Amino acid sequence: MLIGSLMLMGLVFAISVPVGLIGTIFLSELAPRRISMFLQSLAGTMNSVPSIVYGVFGLAFFSVKLGFGTSLLSASLALSTMSIPFFMNSAVEFLRAVPKELREGVISLGANKLQATLMVLRASKNGILTSLMLTLGRAFSETAPILVTGAVFYSTKLPGKLTDPVMTLPTSIYAIVMNLGERSQWMAKAMASLMVLIMIAVYSLVQITRRNKRE
């Protein structure tokens, strides 16, 4: 289950980081004011949508419409649909917080837009890292979107290809609590403790990167 969770995370990471980063740069550096405001409020709205909605969307769109079935792929796509706006919403603030003097300084030396953007990214890299970890932490603990798109409650083997279903920590906890009797509750408790530990580790990392930034 842990490995299933990690595999899922890896895929979510691979999908949402490039898309999210490009989206964020577009939002804060390239898009005209109006479009950027519209997109940001869209991302904000998507952020407040309950996660089960993403699950149902994933089931309808990725699993059924695109025919990916109940699989690792559908699950990671559904999770990414949720993670990308979450990431963009927080990362764009860090990019916007870069003082305009820095951009102007780069431009005034004759740099082009790409070079200026790279400088802005460099200045906000700790912030972006923080957003990234928060996003992954959230995706890791999220149950609903994968419950209906990619998770199976019991599987003896790891998913070998993208179209295999996957077991993850949060969905297994859910399954045990819902389906098995009193006597199996210790399993759920153990898994829940493991999850809490992992979450603590992830958020501590966030804190540490933040502290480094201040120094």
Partner 1 sequence: MSDVVFEIKDLYAFYDEHAALQSINLKIREKRITAIMGPSGCGKSTLLRCLNRLNDLIPGFSLKGQILFRGQDIYQIKDLTEYRRRVTMVFQKPNPFPMSIFDNVAYGLRIHGITKKSILKDKVEQALRMAALWDEVKDKLKKPAVQLSGGQQQRLCIARALAVEPEVLLLDEPTSALDPIATTKIERLLEELAQQYTVVIVTHSMGQALRISDEVVFLYEGRLIEYGETSTIAKTPKHEVTKQFLTGKIG
Residues that bind partner 1 (CB under 8 A): 33, 99, 101-112, 115, 119, 122-123
When the beta carbons of 111 and 205 are compared against partner 1, the nearer one is 111
Backbone φ, ψ for residue 192 (5° rounding): -60, -40
When the beta carbons of 128 and 151 are compared against partner 1, the nearer one is 128
User: Which residue's entry shows tokens 């003082």?
Assistant: 99
Least Cβ distance, residue 12 to partner 1 (angstroms): 29
When the beta carbons of 2 and 111 are compared against partner 1, the nearer one is 111
Least Cβ distance, residue 127 to partner 1 (angstroms): 12
When the beta carbons of 53 and 119 are compared against partner 1, the nearer one is 119
When the beta carbons of 44 and 99 are compared against partner 1, the nearer one is 99
Least Cβ distance, residue 167 to partner 1 (angstroms): 43
Q: Residue 151: beta bridge partners?
A: 166
Least Cβ distance, residue 112 to partner 1 (angstroms): 7
Least Cβ distance, residue 107 to partner 1 (angstroms): 7
